[in-house]
Structure 1
Amino acid sequence: MDDELLARIERLEAINEIRNLMADYTHYFDTGWEGAGKDAAKVGAVFTEDAVWGGDSGRQKGRGRIEGWCAKYGHTAQMSLHIAMNPKIEVDGDTASGSWSGLIPLVTPDGEALWVGGRYECDLVRTTSGWKFSRMNFLTAFQTPYDEGFARTRFVKPASYKE
C-alpha cells in the first residue's frame, strides 16, 4: 500500500472516530427517556483534561467542571434529546476541527417544552486514548417555547437554567 493511500485511510478513520465521539457526547447528555445515556462522567470522558466547553448557558474549563455542570444542570431536564447533524470535519495530523448543526428538543425541570437549535464548533486532539474534544462551543440560533415556535419567539431563557 502506498503512503498516499495509507494517509487517506488514516484520515477517514479519524473522521469516523470523531463522528462517533460526537455521537457519544450527545447520547450521554440525553436524559428523561428510555435509551437516554444520562451519564455526566461519560460526557466528561469525551473531553481533554483542560477542555473548554460552553455556549449561552455558560462556559466551563476542565473535564471535572464540564461533568459537574452536566450533572447539576444538563441532567436536571425532564427530557432532552441532543441531535448533531451535518458534520464538517477537517483533520490535520493529531488535531482536527469539527462543526455540526444541533437540534435539542427538551423539557426543563419546571415543565417548559423548548426547541434549541444552533451549531457546535469544536477543536479536537488525538490522545493516547483516542480523539477528544479540546474545545466545544454551542452557538445558539434559537431557543424557543415548543408551542410558540421560533418564528414568534426566537429566544427565551428558562428560569431553571439561570446560574
Structure 2
Amino acid sequence: MIQDLADRTAIVDTVIAYATALDTRDWETLGALFTDDACWEYSGSGERLRGPEAIIARISTSMERFDATHHLNGNHVAAVHGDDAEHTCYYQAQHVRLGLPDGEKFLAGGRYDDRLRRTPDGWRFTHRRIISVWSEGNPAVITS
C-alpha cells in the first residue's frame, strides 16, 4: 500500500517535471524523462515520434517560437502494475507570442494518456499521447 502511494506520487512528479521542462526550455531534463524506446504522439496531427532525440527535436523546435508558455496539469489518475504504469491527466497550456496583430495568446486544453516504466532513474515515459479537446485565442500564435 505504501509503495503504491509512493509510486503514484513519483509518477505525478514525472508528469509535472515534463510540464516544467517545457516551460523552462530544459531539453536535457525533458529528454531524460523518456525511455530509449519511447513513443510520443499528438492526436490532433497524427504525428508519432520514437525515441527521446526525435521527441525533443520536435518539441524544442515548436516551443522555441514562443515568448512564454505555461502548462498546468490536474485530475491525475495513475495505476501501477509492478514496474509498469498507466497515467492520465488533464492539461491547460497557455502559449504567448508578443506582437501578433490578432492576439498574443493561445490557450489549449486536453488530456495526456501515458504509459510509464520504472527504471533505475525513476519512472519514465514509454508512451505519451496528447489529446487536444478545446482551444481559444489566436491560432497564429502556434502556427506561424
Q: If the TM-score is normalised by the length of the shorter chain, which range does it land in?
A: 0.7 to 0.9
Tell me, yes or no, if structure 1 residue 67 matches structure 2 residue 56: yes
2:4 pairs with 1:11: yes
**Structure 2: which 5+ runs fail to align?**
none
Match of 1:54 among 33, 41, 50: 41
**CA RMSD, Structure 1 to Structure 2 (Å):** 1.8
Task: Determine the structure 2 residue equivalent to 1:25.
Answer: 18
The residue aligned with 1:45 is 32
> Matched residue of 1:80: which SS?
strand
Equivalent position amino acid for 1:41 in 2: E
- Which structure has more relative contact order (CA 8 Å, sep 6+)? It is 2
Deviation at 1:144, TM superposition (A): 2.1
The structure whose residues are more often strand, as a share, is 2
1:107 paired residue number:
96
Identity %: 26
Aligned to 1:142: 134
Q: Which amino acid aligns with 2:14?
A: L
Q: TM-score, normalised by structure 1?
A: 0.78
Instruction: Supply the distance in 2 between the matched residues of 1:125 and 1:108 (Cα, whole angstroms).
Output: 35
Runs ≥4 residues deviating over 2 A: 56-59, 108-112, 156-160
Tell me how far apart the structure 1 counterparts of residues 124 and 5 of structure 2 sit (CA, whole Å).
16
Listed as ranges, the matches of 1:82-93 within 5 Å are 82-93=71-82
Measured against aligned partners, the alpha-carbon deviations of 1:70-117 in whole angstroms (never above 9, x if no partner) come to 221123211111111110000010000000000011114774410100
Query: How many residues end up aligned between the 2 structures?
Result: 138
TM-score (norm 2): 0.88
Q: Secondary structure at the match of 1:116?
A: strand
